[in-house]
Copies of this chain bind each other. A is one copy, B any other.
Amino acid sequence: MGPGPINCYPRVLSAMSTQLIGQYDPVMTGYMNEVMSLYRDVFMTKNQATLLIDGTSRAGIEAVLVSCIEPGDKVLVPIFGRFGHLLKEIAERAGADVHCIEATWGEIFEPEQIEEAIKRVQPKVLALVQGDTSTTMLQPLEHIGEICRRHDVIFYSDATASIGGNPFETDKWQLDAVSVGLQKCLGGPSGSAPITLSERYVDLVRGRQHVEAGIKADHHNAGNGSRIRSNYFDIPMILDYWGEERLNHHTEATSMLYCARECAINLLEEGVEASIARHELHGKAMLAGIQGMNLAPFGDLRHKMNNVVGVYIPQGVDGEQIRHQLLHDFNIEIGTSFGPLHGKIWRIGTMGYNARQDTVLHTLQSLETLLRRAGHKLQAGQAIDSAFSVYSGKG
C-alpha cells in the first residue's frame, strides 16, 4: 500500500510467463502494433507515435527529453515535488538551459503562473509532472496545452503516477509528449515506459534523424539536425523500429511488452472512467479513515491525487518503527518520503490492484492498532467507520 511499485494484477503476472517469439515474427510485430493501439486508448489520443520505451518510467522521461532537446535549448520546469527536480536534472544532462519555477511542496501551479514564466523564459519545451507521488499533488493540465500552443512551446508531461487513476486526456489537453510507467495505477511492474508523441513532436525530432551504421547499407537518411546524445533513447530510430520500416534498434523486451499489453487490456476492459472512479472511491475511503484516526493529511486536498495520500506522522510516534511493524506484523507496506518531507510524512497508496475495499480496510485497521499501541490518541473504530461511510455513500 505504498506509493508504488504496488502488487500486480494477477493476469499481468501471468502474461509475463508467456513463451517468447522472434523479434520479427509476424505475431510479435502484430503484438507491437496492438500495443500501440491499446495505449492510444489509455492516453486518449490519436497519435500514431504511441509505443514503449524499454526501461523504467524515468527511461521514458529521458527518451522524450533527450530526443527533443539540443544543447542550449531553453526548457521550463515548474517544480512542485521530487519528480520536477528529476525532469530538471534530466533536461540539464541533455544539455538544456533549464529554467524553473517552484511551488511549496503540497501545492500546485495556477495556469497564470506557468504562462507568466513561459512569457519570461520563452522556452522550447515545458516539462511538467502531472502527479508527483513525493507530495501526492495532481497538477491540473487542462489549460496548459492551449497556453503552450499560443506561445509555440512543446508541452511534455510525466503522468507515471497518475495515469489510470486520475483523468488524463492527451489530445483534448493538447499535449505533445507524455510518458508513464506501469507500476502505479496500471498495476504492473516497473520496467516498461509507454509514451505518446504528437505529430508536432515527431516532426521536430525527425529533423535530427541519424540511422545507425551497420544497420542498412543503402540508407542515406543522415539527418540535418544535431545528433541525439543517446542511442538507446533516440526516438526517431525507435519510431523506425516500431513503424513499418522495422529497422533494427534494440531487441524489444518481449516479456515486458506482454506485460504492458496486459496492463492496457486490463484497464480498457474495466474502462478508463470506471478505473478512475474506483481510484477516487478507495482514495476517499482511505483519506476518511486516516482522518478518522486523528491523523492529518498532507498538502492541498483539493489537488490530491486519487491514488495516494500523505499523512503527517503524529508527535511522539516513531514513523520508521510503525512502517517496520506494519510490514513485519501485518505484511503491509506503506511509503516513507523524500527531501523536505523525509521523516515528516508517510505516503499510503490505493492504486491498481490495491485500490480495493479489503486492502483499504486492512490497512486502516492495522495502522490504527499500531498507533493505539504506540500511544497515539484516537477513538477506536472511528477510522474504519469513516471508511465504511464513504463506501455506503455517506462519507
Of the candidates A19, A227, A256, the one having the most CB atoms from chain B within 10 angstroms of its own CB is A256
Given A8-B19, A214-B339, A217-B342, CB of A327 within 8 Å of CB of B25: yes
Q: Within the complex, which residue of B212, B230, B254, B333 is in contact with A86, where a contact is CB–CB below 8 Å?
A: B212
Q: Given A85-B212, A89-B213, A333-B22, do A190 and B252 touch, yes or no (CB 8 Å)?
A: yes
The one of B4, B181, B251, B256 in contact with A181, judged by C-beta atoms closer than 8 angstroms, is B251
Name the interface size band of chain A. 35 or more
* A55 and chain B: residue at smallest CB distance: B55
Contact residues in B for A340 (Cβ distance below 8 Å) = 217
Q: Does A357 contact B (CB under 8 A)?
A: no
Scoring A residues 1 to 19 as 1 if CB is less than 8 Å from chain B, else 0, what string do you get? 0101111100001101111
Chain B residues with CB under 8 Å of A89's CB are 212-213, 231
Q: Judging by beta carbons under 8 Å apart, are A19 and B5 in contact?
A: no
Query: For the complex, what is the distance from the CA of A23 to the CA of B4, rounded to whole Å?
Result: 8
Q: Do A214 and B55 have beta carbons less than 8 Å apart? A: no
A158 at the interface (CB under 8 A from B): no
Number of chain copies forming the complex: 2
In this assembly, does A37 line the interface, its C-beta being within 8 Å of a C-beta of chain B?
Answer: no
Decide: B338 and A214 in contact? CB cutoff 8 A.
Answer: yes
A374 within 8 A of B: no
Could you give, for residues 40-60 of chain A, a 1 whenever the CB lies within 8 Å of some chain B CB and a 0 otherwise? 000000000000001111110
Smallest CB–CB gap between A235 and chain B, Å? 13
Q: Evaluate whether A8 and B25 lie within 8 angstroms (CB atoms) in the complex, with A213-B89, A229-B93, A254-B189 already known.
A: no
- Chain A residues with a Cβ under 8 A of chain B: 2, 4-8, 13-14, 16-25, 54-59, 62, 66, 81-86, 88-90, 92-95, 134, 181, 183, 189-191, 212-217, 227-233, 248, 250-256, 259, 327, 333, 336, 338-340, 342
